[in-house]
Amino acid sequence: MRVGYGYDLHRLASGRDLWLGGVRVDYDRGLVGHSDADVLVHAVADAILGAAGLGDIGQHFPDHEGRWKDLRGRALMERVMAMVRQKGLRPVNVDSTVHAEQPKLSPHRDRIRESLAAMLELAPADVNVKFKTNEGLDSIGQSAAIAASAVALLTDIHPR
Ligand code: MG
């Protein structure tokens, strides 16, 4: 068994869609980034790469490369899963937290879990998603940004 940790943060701005865990969440602003800025997918992908000892998404999908522009969370995770599979590993479970003051995310919890689970080839019960506000403090608390953190456990596809 191998454990990994991931963290990410993106700025909120108008004129962008808000993507979280591969789900488009209805909100008047979205996260800014070279990709679709799906902060939850990015944190989970980094946790999975970390557990596999494969570095981070910044190395594999550099934001100065035009081919990764507007990269969808789902497409990014597909590539991460292929790298991990190549190492003979698969996810066992993932736990994550989205740090956001707005919008209210709990109504989207099940959809986000199902979406992430499908990307990770896991049951929704093995993909936990928590939501936390920052009590009105700092950039997250002032609704200027959303962050996400995650841990992932990987195991051998073929037990030795
Ligand atoms: Mg990111």
- What spatial distance separates the first Cα and last Cα of the chain, rounded to whole Å? 12
Output the pTM of the full model.
0.97
Residue 160 pLDDT more than 90? Answer: no
Among 70, 141, 63, 46, residue whose Cα is nearest residue 100:
141
Mean pLDDT calculated for residue range 107-126: 98
Domains of the chain by residue range: 2-156
Beta strands across the sheet bearing 29-31: 29-31, 2-14, 145-156, 89-99, 127-132
Say which range, 33-37, 79-83, 131-135, 144-148, has the weakest mean pLDDT: 33-37
Q: Separation of 39 CA from ligand 1 center, angstroms?
A: 5
Query: Which residues make up the environment of ion ligand 1, defined by Cβ < 5 Å?
Result: 8, 42
Q: Separation of 114 CA from ligand 1 center, angstroms?
A: 21
Q: What is the CATH code of the structural domain delimited by 2-156?
A: 3.30.1330.50
Contact of 31 with 37, CB cutoff 8 Å: yes
Q: Separation of 42 CA from ligand 1 center, angstroms?
A: 5
Residue 140 pLDDT more than 80? Answer: yes
Residue 152 pLDDT more than 90? Answer: yes
Would you state the pLDDT for residue 142? Answer: 97
Q: Separation of 85 CA from ligand 1 center, angstroms?
A: 22
Mean of the per-residue pLDDT values for the chain? Answer: 96
Q: Separation of 11 CA from ligand 1 center, angstroms?
A: 10
Q: Separation of 157 CA from ligand 1 center, angstroms?
A: 28
Distance between CA atoms of residues 59 and 140, nearest Å: 26
- Cα-only R_g, the chain: 15
Q: Separation of 158 CA from ligand 1 center, angstroms?
A: 31
Q: Separation of 160 CA from ligand 1 center, angstroms?
A: 35
Q: What is the DSSP code (8-state) at residue 26?
A: P
